[in-house]
Amino acid sequence: MVARVLVTMTSMKQPRPSYITLSYQQPYDWKSHLAFLAYRSIPGVEVVKENSYARTISMDGIAGHFRVEFGSNSNQIQAKIQFPELKQRHHIIERIKSIFDLHADSEQIDKFLAKDKLLKPMVKKFPGLRVPGCWSGFEVAVRAILGQQVTVKAASTLVSRISERYGQKYDCNIEGLTHVFPDAKELQGAKMENIGIIRQRISAIQLIADLVASGKLVIDSTIDMKEFVDQICAIKGIGEWTAFYIAMRALNEPNAFPFSDLILRRALTEEELTPKQLLTLSEPWKTPASLCGDSAMEELWGNYSKNECQEEKGMTTYYHYHTTPIGKLLLAGNEGYINQLGFPSGSMARKHKKGWIKDRIPFKEVMFQLDSYFDGELKDFELPLAPVGTEFQQAVWDALREIPYGETWSYGELAKHIGKPKASRAVGAANGMNPIPVIIPCPRVIGINGKLTGFGGGIKIKRFLLSLETKDIVPDINLS
């Protein structure tokens, strides 16, 4: 069904807002759609409320904004577009349709997916889920890169810092819209220092910015998905999960399926599936018209997240004790993120808490990478982390991950790196509060005189870890 558009024309000399009515086919779970966008909204760029979505936009270097509002008693949304160039109105409308997947025929999609015995109960429980699109493919790519190893909210904060530093300031009558997200040309060569982004992520963003700005990489529906995935995965630090997620939202590619996603692998069956198993199960969800792949994924995400919320108000924390050369380490986390690693003794010693669920499955990848690290085969951890701390502590912990493998920095050098050269003591305190040592490598920080100084896991463990990285391996740590 083609969305119906009603436009209120205004003066060409002083363009006033254009008011548009867009219709859609039922069923449409627009509340879940808005919730998805709200959870990932960029402060300053997007504002999402109970029944509305607003954001700043830019086309050909010209800034504007729009706001859409859903009505509870109709199959229409009302859009208000504020943009100086009326000739761009049609393109803006098309992007709004893409963001809210208004072209989808949910009734037919739900009927098709309900033929699958695994998806049928989810479709019945959550009818009308649609795939959120985006305003800018480049923006989604930046967001996806920053979200690889941090929580969704932490990624939103990092993206907001980029828009504040490099984006155009914007003033309008919608509270909360203050900046326009920078385009690829504006981020070419951007150093992005001291805003909590690790070097590898900065490099990946810069490479994408260069490719997009030069026209060598296109991130929209005009490009073939396989070509896009192959091209973007050639960039260091970008894997298939990131590529398929971008394709899903920016390419409007219905068969883009991030089959390695942890939530998707847990949502379909009681046992956690391997990526290959999930990919095999998802094959029947594809249709000749390629309408249903992403909708199936939304069913899985929606079913898993809503069930988790219904089971308890807070998040479930899982834990496991993993045997390593430095003793049994406590691993703890939730929502697919690691937020604690505890040593067996010292001030960084931690034990699981009452109510936590013992389960080794969520930590398979963590254990594999830790074992590879202690075997001397892994230098950089690639894990989703969610350490809890103040903004200053987060800045210090982000900076710790910038210290190269096998090297050490002093507290003063670390303080200078985060732009706080006089805060050596505060940096030391934050270093000592690091909740995920080893993975966030606080042992790499030493005193200005070269001494190892204190360490929450004990000096013996610190010496062992530094010796491990410099290949001068201590044969027996002798923790007794």
- The residues annotated as belonging to the active site are 442
Strands 179-180 and 168-169: antiparallel
Q: How far is CA 410 from CA 87, 302, 322, 391, in A?
A: 57, 46, 30, 21
The backbone torsions φ and ψ at residue 222, rounded to the nearest 5 degrees and listed phi first, read: -85, -10
Neighbours of 84 (CB within 10 A): 11
317: Cβ–Cβ under 8 A, 6 or more apart, which residues? 332, 333, 334, 353, 355, 356, 357
How many CB atoms are located within 10 Å of the residue 4 CB?
A: 12
Token pair, residue 166, equals 């490099």
CA dihedral of 244, 249, 252, 258, whole degrees rounded to 10: 20
| CA dist., res. 412 & res. 422, Å (int) | 8
Max alpha carbon distance in the chain (Å)?
82
